[in-house]
Chain A
Amino acid sequence: MADKRTTEAEAVAELRDGMTIGIGGWGSRRKPMSIVREILRSPLTDLTLVTYGGPDAGLLCRYGKVKRLVYGFVSLDSIPLEPHFRAARQAGGFEARELDEGMLQWGLYAAALRLPFLPTRAGLGTDVMQINPDLKLVASPYEDGEELVAMPALELDSAFVHMNRADAGGNGQYLGPDFYFDDLYCMAAKRRFMTCEKIVPTGDFLKEGTLHTLRVNRTMVDGVIEAPGGAHFTECPPDYGRDEAFQRAYAATARDRDAWDTFKADYLDVTEAEYQQKVRAR
């Protein structure tokens, strides 16, 4: 088994302006935030971001990194509306490709299975069709002849997911209640990076979770990054819950330029190690 251990810096160094990236997790849950912070520190721009959006979308939009956002929602869960995302949206800061959240899954799944599209009813009769003018319909070739939306494959240049545990070979384990769509992000992408709370010997996986928690296998991953606290401030149970106080502070900076500058200087214009140290010292 190849040793795929790498770093956030090396993974993000592969990205280029204008690329399409997918970020796993859901809302403010198990997001690969150490990767997001690395992208914020980089000069990358004009990204297309595909996400079940949380603070990944909020921060990348706030920094003006996003040219096009493909999403069904952007939420901090305990704070239903992501204020940085909202501000960027209302300022016309990016192209909003808003979809039904099931269509997003279908797009990732189509890309994962190397199909051009998957059919769905979702979107018909709504403004999803106007917002995404390139969406096309397809008629069932069978007797029913039903007209459906042909949700196109959402092919990703790179995908980033965060797991509780991984081995150095790229097998991943989630220990929380939901695996979200992380396997689909990986399968939809040309390059796939997995951060994790802890790299463990392969033989240790089943000490912490059942067979069913091994949702990501090494065919789906090119690089493994040990990033303890890497999902902070989003939740990563059972390792840690959401840092609600930190998230509230982050959200409040959307309305206050000075608070944002301070927050950015304290937590974003620093290395990941400094970030983790400052979070522990709070």
Chain B
Amino acid sequence: MSDATRAEVCAVAVAEAFRGDGEILVSCFGTTPAVGARLARMTFEPDILMTDGVASLLANVDPVSGDDPEPVVEGWTPFRSVFDLLWNGRRHVMMFASQIDRYGNQNFACIGDHAAPKAQLLGMRGAPGNTLSHKTSYWVPNHSPKVFVEKVDVVSGVGYDRARALGPQTARFHCIHRVVSNLGVFDFATPDNRMRLASVHPGVRIEDVVEATGFELAIGDDVPTTPEPTDEQLQLIRQAIDPKGLGNKEVRV
């Protein structure tokens, strides 16, 4: 039995979400996605591009605490070129979801009716354009029925049912790849692209996931357990990527 924390298990699951991405920009919101993307880049996806969070592309992998002693800049990405790049499609973003439904419709704009919100959140940000332009995944550190909901209050990121309604031409770049939460990994590999439980994290029961989800998940007969980090992965996370253990502060088990 590994001594990996839940955050570290999540980081490996995030890294797996970026497997196969090749030479594209990976953009992450949240600490665990930032750890996972770096892990992917340092192991099986060396061609991934990442920014320093401001306007530089870094050729080296910087720690998530943001205090890179010697950044090696390989490119310039002011917001103007990030927008161009994302419409060009060479990007995989992992965004937060304040709410997400069974088809992957996502909301981080506000809670309640948009005309009179109970809680204003981030706003639409880039979610509408991202979800129709390139691969999108979501990170949910606090899996609960308030996040995994029957119906999102506002649609900021396009899910599969709405993408289908737009037709194959408009939706040809739409791909909600994975949802990684503190309880498990989810995908949309079902005939009508409903969310499916792809794996449960070690120590989590399927019932726990069902109870924390506000809609009916597709659940196969034999749900695998999310892989534990290998010794090499743990060493990279703890020594190079997140020596301060910031990921452990983000993930509530």
- Give the B-binding residues of A (Cβ under 8 A): 26, 53, 71-75, 80-81, 85-86, 89-90, 92, 96, 98-103, 105, 120-128, 130-131, 144-147, 177-181
Contacts and interface: CB of A to CB of B under 8 A. Distances in A.
Contacts of A85: 120
Given A146-B169, A178-B79, A80 B87 contact: no
Given A75-B122, A179-B80, A102 B166 contact: no
Contact of B121 (A81, A105, A122, A125): A81
Interface of B: 54-56, 76, 78-80, 83, 86-87, 109-110, 114, 116-129, 131-133, 154-158, 162-163, 165-166, 169-171
B155 A177 contact: no
Contact of A121 (B119, B133, B156, B157): B133
B158 A125 contact: yes
B157 A177 contact: no
Contact of A178 (B54, B124, B128, B132): B54
Contacts of A146: 169-170
B123 A179 contact: no
B170 A121 contact: yes
Contact of A126 (B87, B110, B118, B128): B128
A102 B86 CA distance: 10
B125 A125 contact: no
Closest 8 CB pairs of A and B: A122-B129, A73-B123, A177-B55, A100-B128, A89-B120, A178-B78, A125-B158, A125-B162
B125 A86 contact: no
A130 B127 contact: no
Given A92-B116, A105-B83, A178 B125 contact: no
Contacts of B170: 121, 124-125, 146-147
18 contacts: A72-B124, A85-B120, A96-B114, A100-B125, A100-B129, A102-B87, A120-B87, A121-B129, A121-B133, A125-B128, A125-B131, A125-B158, A125-B166, A128-B124, A130-B114, A144-B169, A177-B55, A180-B79
Contact of A100 (B55, B124, B166): B124
Given A92-B116, A98-B124, A181 B129 contact: no
A144 B169 CA distance: 9
B225 to A, nearest CB: 33
Contact of A125 (B55, B109, B163): B163
A146 to B, nearest CB: 5
Given A73-B122, A122-B132, 14 more contacts: A53-B123, A85-B120, A92-B116, A98-B114, A101-B124, A101-B125, A101-B126, A102-B87, A103-B128, A103-B129, A121-B132, A124-B132, A124-B170, A127-B155
Given A98-B109, A125-B155, A90 B120 contact: yes
B74 to A, nearest CB: 15
A28 B202 CA distance: 41
Nearest to B125: A73
A65 B110 CA distance: 22
A53 to B, nearest CB: 8
B132 A86 contact: no
Contacts of A147: 170
A110 to B, nearest CB: 14
Contacts of A131: 114
A213 B149 CA distance: 47
Contacts of B162: 125-126
B201 to A, nearest CB: 26
Given A92-B116, A101-B124, A126-B127, A181 B79 contact: yes
A214 B169 CA distance: 40
B101 to A, nearest CB: 13
Contact of A120 (B79, B122, B129): B129
B188 to A, nearest CB: 15
A170 B162 CA distance: 47
A26 B79 contact: yes
A128 B125 CA distance: 11
